[in-house]
A and B are shown apart, each in its own frame.
Chain A
């Protein structure tokens, strides 16, 4: 394939009237879409627009190779291809922040995002006693969507630390341009309250207990009907965990883009300018894959990167870029204005980021936090050394699941900042590929 920009031409900011009509029609037509709401349909529209703009769109593809020369190894079906480009836009999105609590490896415990994927892609919901635990907007959204689907939620276990809400109050004013987000949040909270779901606040010591599978969920709660609960137990068939999302930085790392630790969001972010350009001027990293900014802001940032690369490739001039980007930038900044409030309000509690010694951190190689601390005591100063000492991060997921937890444990134990501790190195293949598929590349 010849070198070209792998993205769509900039499009008008406001959705076309016909698109709205289509979205309304399609939403009314399917029960699954009624539950998921308009935001879900918006994503489908982006794909349609991309195709209309003449870009080639490949779904169900996986990128198993990427290097600093912008060579991309793609696997589509059983065929592997190498593509290269003059400009590359990485939009890898977010993954869920690991929530390593005791027993999180038991069958029956899943990430809340997994629950939402099952609802979105398969129209499936949990059957049996269901508990949602953690903090962050997604857990509210999932609870709301389950209520719309008529699913009984036995309890909502809120791990947001005491005082987080009141501390964030000052940031509300700055969030006013994005008041629609606040109203959406309020609507979901009200629905949860109206449904009479028991909510346990300021929960500490959350653990999943069971033999072959999840049986009960144990926790201490600071406030439940204004009574303190210690070692409280709730029977459960399904426990869905969530404590925010973090950028999926494996591809940017493979491409050699510089990263930074963001202490406010408690995750790695890719260094970019306002056009999404990374430390490598030919590689743009946009959306949640560079910094958590939400779906709407992410789409807009992708458009800005598209416009800027069009300028770089001589397709438009500076004046055209300014004209095209002005309304997009304005809208982008409006969507970002909610973030300081959300980041502060739903900052994960340190005790759920850095688990107790007995808790599993690496689910693949079954390495506990205690084993990682022991490796640090033996002299390991970073996650890559811990990996060779313990095999933590060496299993099938290649540290995709445990990576940030490992760095946080090391950082806490050595009292060193995260930027000094660093993160697990990524190595190709970045996703599974058989030798047969590889030989076809």
Chain B
């Protein structure tokens, strides 16, 4: 759904998105990386289970909540990617053992 406008292969990091290794540009947010990796949705809402993708990219909407390095409820647009980071979709509300 999104692509980069210039070749950024010089400065990349490897992250694990939904268990699959992806090489993404360094210095981008996790939400940007999720869009670049082509995730159909980054979370499923706790109310209806509908899939969502990031909406505002500026920390207002909370539609990009993901589980990052095992920590749920992270605004993926406010977290930068880092080498060997694990990124998972958040399914519903965070569970107690996750906290």
Residue numbers of A with Cβ under 8 A of B are 31-32, 35, 60, 62, 95-96, 105, 107-111, 113-114, 117-119, 121-128, 149-150, 212-213, 237-238, 248, 363-366, 395-397, 400-401, 431-432, 434
Residues of B42-88 at the interface with A, using a CB-CB cut-off of 8 Å, are: 45, 47-48, 50-63, 65, 71, 73, 75, 77-78, 80
Evaluate contact between B65 and A396: CB separation under 8 angstroms.
Answer: yes
A-B contact pairs, 10 of them (CB 8 A): A60-B80, A107-B51, A111-B57, A118-B35, A123-B8, A123-B25, A125-B4, A248-B60, A397-B60, A397-B62
Partner of A113, one of B5, B50, B56, B78: B56
Main secondary structure of the interface of B (DSSP, over half): loop
What residues of B have a CB within 8 angstroms of the CB of A126 in the complex?
Answer: 1-2
B41 within 8 A of A: yes
Evaluate contact between B2 and A125: CB separation under 8 angstroms.
Answer: yes
- Residue total for B at the interface (Cβ-Cβ under 8 A): 40
B30 CB, nearest partner CB in chain A, Å: 11
B95 within 8 A of A: no
Q: Which residue of B lies closest to A391 (CB)?
A: B47
A109 CB, nearest partner CB in chain B, Å: 7
Complex CA gap A97/B5 in Å reads: 28
Given contacts A121-B29, A432-B75, contact A114 B51 (CB under 8 A): no
Evaluate contact between A122 and B50: CB separation under 8 angstroms.
Answer: no
Evaluate contact between A117 and B57: CB separation under 8 angstroms.
Answer: yes
What residues of B have a CB within 8 angstroms of the CB of A431 in the complex?
Answer: 59
B10 CB, nearest partner CB in chain A, Å: 13
Evaluate contact between B51 and A123: CB separation under 8 angstroms.
Answer: no
Q: Which residue of B lies closest to A114 (CB)?
A: B57
Residues of B16-56 at the interface with A, using a CB-CB cut-off of 8 Å, are: 25, 27-29, 32, 35-36, 40-41, 45, 47-48, 50-56
Evaluate contact between B1 and A96: CB separation under 8 angstroms.
Answer: no
Q: Which residue of B lies closest to A127 (CB)?
A: B3
Evaluate contact between B57 and A110: CB separation under 8 angstroms.
Answer: yes
Residue numbers of B with Cβ under 8 A of A are 1-6, 8, 25, 27-29, 32, 35-36, 40-41, 45, 47-48, 50-63, 65, 71, 73, 75, 77-78, 80
Evaluate contact between A124 and B2: CB separation under 8 angstroms.
Answer: yes
Partner of B1, one of A31, A105, A237: A237
What residues of B have a CB within 8 angstroms of the CB of A213 in the complex?
Answer: 40-41, 51
Evaluate contact between B40 and A107: CB separation under 8 angstroms.
Answer: yes
Q: Max chain B CB contacts within 10 Å: which of A31, A123, A128, A213?
A: A123
Complex CA gap A166/B41 in Å reads: 42
Evaluate contact between B32 and A95: CB separation under 8 angstroms.
Answer: no
Evaluate contact between A32 and B5: CB separation under 8 angstroms.
Answer: yes
Main secondary structure of the interface of A (DSSP, over half): loop
Evaluate contact between B45 and A366: CB separation under 8 angstroms.
Answer: yes
Partner of B41, one of A107, A111, A119, A124: A107
Evaluate contact between A400 and B5: CB separation under 8 angstroms.
Answer: no
A367 CB, nearest partner CB in chain B, Å: 9
Partner of B6, one of A32, A108, A363: A32
Complex CA gap A126/B45 in Å reads: 24
Given contacts A111-B56, A124-B36, A395-B62, contact A366 B2 (CB under 8 A): no
Given contacts A32-B5, A107-B41, A127-B2, contact A212 B51 (CB under 8 A): yes
Q: Which residue of B lies closest to A241 (CB)?
A: B55
B5 CB, nearest partner CB in chain A, Å: 5
Evaluate contact between A105 and B50: CB separation under 8 angstroms.
Answer: yes
Given contacts A110-B53, A111-B55, A114-B55, contact A95 B60 (CB under 8 A): yes
Q: Which residue of B lies closest to A95 (CB)?
A: B60
Q: Which residue of B lies closest to A431 (CB)?
A: B59
3 smallest A-B Cβ distances: which pairs? A114-B57, A396-B62, A107-B53
A440 CB, nearest partner CB in chain B, Å: 16
What residues of B have a CB within 8 angstroms of the CB of A60 in the complex?
Answer: 80
What residues of B have a CB within 8 angstroms of the CB of A121 in the complex?
Answer: 28-29, 32
Complex CA gap A35/B61 in Å reads: 27
Q: Which residue of A lies closest to B80 (CB)?
A: A60
Partner of B56, one of A96, A123, A124, A396: A96
